[in-house]
A and B are shown apart, each in its own frame.
Chain A
Amino acid sequence: MIAGAAAVLVGAGLIGVAMQARPVPPLPIGPGVLPAVVGLGLLGVGAALMVARREPHDPAPSRPDRTGLTGLALAIALPLALAATLETVGVALGLPLVLAPLLAWHGMPPGRAMLLAVAMTGALLALLGGLLRVPLPLGPLAGVPPWT
């Protein structure tokens, strides 16, 4: 029911986008064709899902508690904070600050969580930067690893 309603809303939005797209002269078609088709499809599928009955063996999703919602907020907010600061802080300093609070949230002692987060980050950096030569932002630590 909720998935169907969301599909109908997104479908209506895409049809709005399609109506604003300018066709490619001299033809009456252009960048609005696919958004219109996808939008109509979403309207149709959404309507079908809204009228469909829940099957008896369909398990209803469990209702999350406050602790779960806090954990979810943490798991979303910390990576987004990393995205906002990655170019400045770098992977070596930024990633442990994401991983350590998540490990601690799941019950690991804070000191051990920070140690493990730093070790995991070091292993990832050595593998990607050192072995595979994939350039990663290092922030203030640029030039410190032996492969840079």
Chain B
Amino acid sequence: MTPAALGAALALLLTPQVLAVMAGAAVLGLVVGALPGLTATLGVALLVPFALLLEPLPALAGVVTLAAVAITAGDLPGALLRVPGTPASAAYAEAAHRLARRGRAGLALGTGLVCAAVGGVAGALVLLLGAPALAGLALHMSTVERFWLAVLGLSAAAVVAGPSPPRGALAVLIGLALALVGLDPVSGQPRLTFGLTDLSGGLGLIPVMIGLFAVSRVLAHALDPKTDERAPPRIGPVFAGLGQALGRRRRAIALGGGVGVVIGAIPGAGADIAAYVAQAVARRLTPGRTKGEDDHDLDAIAPAGAANNAAIGGALVPATVLGIPGDSLTAIVIGVLMLNGITPGPAAFLLHGDTMAAVLLAFLLANLLLVPAGLLALALARPLLAAPPVVLMPLILGVCLVGSYAVERTTTALVVTMAAGVLGLLMERGRVPLAPVVLGLVLGPLIEEMALTSLMKAGGDPAVLVERPGALGLALVTAAVWGVPAVRAGIAHVRHPRDSD
């Protein structure tokens, strides 16, 4: 982008109307993101009717602002109530909640906010400067590479999320088993629906996520009310120790941003895979930093938080340059572009160059707005935590039930939410991590569709899964994710048998 084009785009962006729409969208994004069950996608969808009444630039600036702020605001219920706002934030919601129960929610949320802003800015800069090149790379990913990328994401989640890889693997397999419910994505045959038509679309992600993370906590409190009295979440100072925490994790944040941009740009992948892969990559490439419990949890938040928002910028690359939506959120962005007379694709940058550049700058500005918006959300959340658990737990249950119904519009969603809550309670008592279940549920249909499509194209020959160099490389990385820790543990067992016992 030339300086003249940048100046023209800035002149279009920095007008009172555009800035006012962005501020309003940020407030709506805060409300939507902070409410368990309401997602950034739902928030953007709610904004679409208003976007039609506006000029193209304020409409699109509002959409990208709402998306960025809502995704980051989802960290708030994640840290305070252990209810992740998005599947991607499930990767670090438990770590943030553990910090909150030790009175360090401010540090957890501050770290998440700054990492999200850094990741988002990285994504926006890549979008501004290198979109065509990244889009070309993303287009070279066939169904086989996408299959391996999803398997790599699941493997990373299994290895990094649990107290041990077998328990992490069990969580991933539970998620994949839940993903089996509904119509088979290739042949359309019903599976595990028990004759219920409401289940033919599969188990809703939001009811399962709400049940696993929030309802399970309400049920655990009902079973043993003393649990929450011992350590209620507290916000604590936001800035104390923040600079040091971020400085020590600058490599992890940079890695998270890079992983988020690249994985986000691949259609069908997205922030959820990016968050777990970023955690695994950062753990492998920046070892030896962890000293205490707080450090361990911050190590989980920093790379995944950066990857989460960087992936939005990545996902906007194929959406704007090629017109290919990477996820449901970017599909709505494409819809808003088209409703405003801009057809996404290379021609859009030629015919509406200034507007497109201004939209990308709006995304950059929205990511810079994240920190003040997040601090405002923190200030508003403080009174909520003053409520005793006996009041807070039924309140959480009420929000969860209404949120589940609002998203799915069927009472079956309430039953699914409660069943997932019981499952979450049992998993917690068995020390099985919850977050990989979400990733298994999200990626199960994708893995099945990609694998079966590739196998069918090859006449059922499984060699097709490793024939392409990219696929073979991803398969080897996946094998290394499982193999390296196993080999290290084996060596440690041989050298120090008593310690490893």
Contact = CB atoms under 8 A, between A and B. Distances in A.
Contact of B222 (A29, A71, A127): A71
A42 B219 contact: no
A49 B170 contact: yes
A136 B68 CA distance: 27
Interface in A108-129: 108, 116-117, 120-121, 124, 127-128
Contact of A27 (B184, B427, B459): B459
B219 A76 contact: yes
A57 to B, nearest CB: 10
A65 to B, nearest CB: 9
Interface in B421-460: 421-422, 427, 429-432, 444, 447-448, 451-452, 455-456, 459-460
Contact of B455 (A29, A31, A86, A98): A29
Contacts of A116: 391
A28 B458 CA distance: 12
B38 interface: yes
Interface residues of B, number: 61
A21 interface: yes
B418 A132 contact: no
A49 B189 CA distance: 33
B390 A98 contact: no
Contacts of B451: 33-34
B187 interface: yes
Given A75-B218, A87-B411, A136-B402, A68 B224 contact: yes
A106 B401 contact: no
Contact of A133 (B46, B176, B444, B460): B46
B125 interface: no
B44 to A, nearest CB: 12
A29 B189 contact: no
B247 interface: no
Interface in B167-213: 167, 169-170, 173, 176-177, 180, 184, 186-187, 189, 191-192
B223 A68 contact: yes
A38 B177 contact: yes
Nearest to B409: A135
Contacts of A29: 452, 455-456, 460
A35 B180 contact: yes
Contacts of B191: 17, 21, 31, 35
A84 B418 CA distance: 13
A131 B394 contact: no
Contact of A38 (B180, B390, B395, B418): B180
B177 A14 contact: yes
A105 B186 CA distance: 48
A122 to B, nearest CB: 11
B415 interface: yes
B83 interface: no
Contacts of A21: 184, 189, 191
Nearest to B38: A132
A134 B406 contact: yes
List the 6 closest pairs (A to B, CB-CB), nearest first.
Answer: A31-B184, A83-B414, A106-B390, A3-B430, A71-B222, A75-B222
6 contacts: A31-B191, A45-B166, A52-B164, A76-B422, A124-B398, A132-B32
